[in-house]
A and B are shown apart, each in its own frame.
Chain A
């Protein structure tokens, strides 16, 4: 049971970052369906950063923990932001259709990640070096083992998982309590209104997309490092996107609130783990549960939802000042 819960939390962290990234992007009025692709890019990017560093050392296991963490996080975020840069250039500056651009980016991201793994990381690194490095990153807090069930479930992770939670909390705080957050939300609701009071709409839209992409990219890295223990880099293009889609579903489930997403992601992680918990039920149907829950949430927010739980009003609409 404890192992399952811990697994759900690890998986939840991946979903959490994916959906926090999507929430930040959507708050600027842009629906980025490229998140699954961006997560793939972040995953291979972060691994690449680690591998490059480790290959400079005689023994990968002797890598410095902090430097490794720093490189992995930075590279994954940069790769994620690069993916988002393609998206935002197309949708913000060229005002291309957001859905089409996003879907194309997902296809691009998965293809890119496979190419990148084969070309720049290689089989050897992926199969031997990465698991060793992941072990370093997954080093848990020293006292976790002494705290029994609680320790096993909540404290058995590397610092990277807590970083994800911090990011979500920070995003929630920024959106709710700061001037920057207020402006970003205003842009997502009514860019014309924001423009009229002198807010730089383009700057905010680009920033939100890039930051959102970076956060989602980190989510991709966590999938490889925490959930897969450094294995399975070659399966990223097939395995990771499904969590990317689930992350986008989670955005709806959490009604566009990053802090709610923390709990929501653990719940989704659990729902996803249902099939591994030995429940005597058709495992394919159990796999569907998170999606069914999302549909139910959509039904409820559509029927009973107040305006506060609706998507940003201008979501999906590109802004052009002169078209009034």
Chain B
């Protein structure tokens, strides 16, 4: 039997302002009644591509065919017209509405609005595909998996034949994932076509019929799942190692500055962000953290900086417990944190403040009396502008008006200004061009030479392999391994990031992530743990 094509993309290109290529010449074919996995690293343009099919973005070049006919999709409404439904990673649901109310919102089929009818239709759909849902339950009483179910039914209720799921498993427990897969298979048997975005290779192997791979916005190829293996997929996904001319400065590693043991952190929604992590940073070392976006990197940064309460574990800085200390004290101890979120304005900078004002944010309390010391702050701002080549009309221009790269230079520059001994920096080169990136790498290397310990949370594996001394790989909050950058390969990192390889399993008995020359003896660690436990009990 010849397979019928449900959706076909031909030479789709999408550019974002600033000559960023999100998708270039992407070809994709989706057959009726199949599950296609879309695989790619962070920033490989998977979500952008899917957004073009679901009408959120409009392609700059290329054609979309549905059932063999060329179509133009300009809005989510158009997408619904062609029976395409997307389940976004971030749910779009009204919290205080019931499941059924959310599902019927925006549907206009001409009939009278009757919530009872909607309820029974929702139950009908649920029964058909094996969803477990109460249409009357309010969204705010639902678990993440239930919310996802509502999103999927919302799309089915509108009669979608092509379903796009953007990382549906990222938020689910293993049992919930199994349930979801059963449902997906039922939908497939029902003739629906499904595109699923996921980073986890084992899931790709389990659920999909074919896999299409994107890398840095470009279409790499499509393979039959039955004829491939995780290793081949990883290679296609990460590509061959490219040689970057980033210098890895040789230093004599110092004693551990920051030691973290058995750290457990929760996300805002109560799910696990960091699961029992142990690692340490030495002075004069750049320790990389690699992982798929949203795997607990942000929570880890916040916890070390004292901005987020932890569940359990210890964070020791030169033998002193940081847990429970206010952020200001942690900064005074020399631990600095800079996090560049997706929107890039950064945690730690006030967008409408000038560079001078932002410099003062960190040092305002050093002045005497009630007045702030603008003069010295301005001098420091000007020094920073000169040193890091920050392009700005003056030190008094609001940071918001600078380009992204210059904003990041201000942020990283200010953190270094305070002469920290531990720098935690997340995505410092996010969205920067090559030259600005190298400036940032140079700054970090310079600090490394001075004996500062650096935790570098990054995205680009090539950069991390070239810059870092050691790399921690996390997958959904769990450390999969800590490897020497010189001795590892991109493929190995890729396998660990996607959860296919777990080095900690092999070396379980070797006290993974614990420094031999710790600042504390084992007895002292025990004592600290007890103290911490006592403190927690008091809090309860």
Contact = CB atoms under 8 A, between A and B. Distances in A.
A190 B106 contact: no
B113 A182 contact: yes
Contacts of A313: 95-96
Contacts of A186: 94, 97, 105
Given A179-B113, A182-B113, A197 B97 contact: no
Given A179-B113, A198-B76, A307-B140, A189 B105 contact: no
Contact of A192 (B92, B97, B108): B92
Interface string A180-208: 00110110011011101111000000000
B177 to A, nearest CB: 25
B328 to A, nearest CB: 30
B429 to A, nearest CB: 23
Contact of A182 (B76, B93, B104): B104
Contacts of B92: 190, 192-193, 196-197
A171 B92 CA distance: 27
A307 B138 contact: yes
A182 B98 CA distance: 11
Interface string B72-113: 000111001000000000001111110001001111100001
Nearest to B88: A196
Given A178-B113, A197-B76, A183 B106 contact: yes
A242 interface: no
Contact of A194 (B96, B105, B113): B105
B204 to A, nearest CB: 28
Q: Categorize the interface residue count of chain B.
A: 20 to 34
A285 interface: no
Contacts of A177: 113, 115
Contacts of A199: 105-106
A198 B77 contact: yes
Nearest to B104: A182
A177 B94 CA distance: 17
Contacts of B80: 198
Contacts of A196: 76, 92
A3 interface: no
Interface residues of A, number: 20
A183 B105 contact: yes
Nearest to B54: A196
A308 interface: yes
B95 A197 contact: no
B77 A193 contact: no
A179 B140 contact: no
B108 A308 contact: no
A304 B480 CA distance: 43
Given A194-B106, A196-B76, A198-B106, A307 B96 contact: yes
A194 B97 CA distance: 12
A9 B487 CA distance: 83
Contacts of A310: 96
Contacts of A183: 105-106
Contacts of B75: 198
Interface string B202-242: 00000000000000000000000000000000000000000
Contacts of B115: 177
B361 to A, nearest CB: 24
B53 to A, nearest CB: 15
A95 B129 CA distance: 44
A182 B92 CA distance: 15
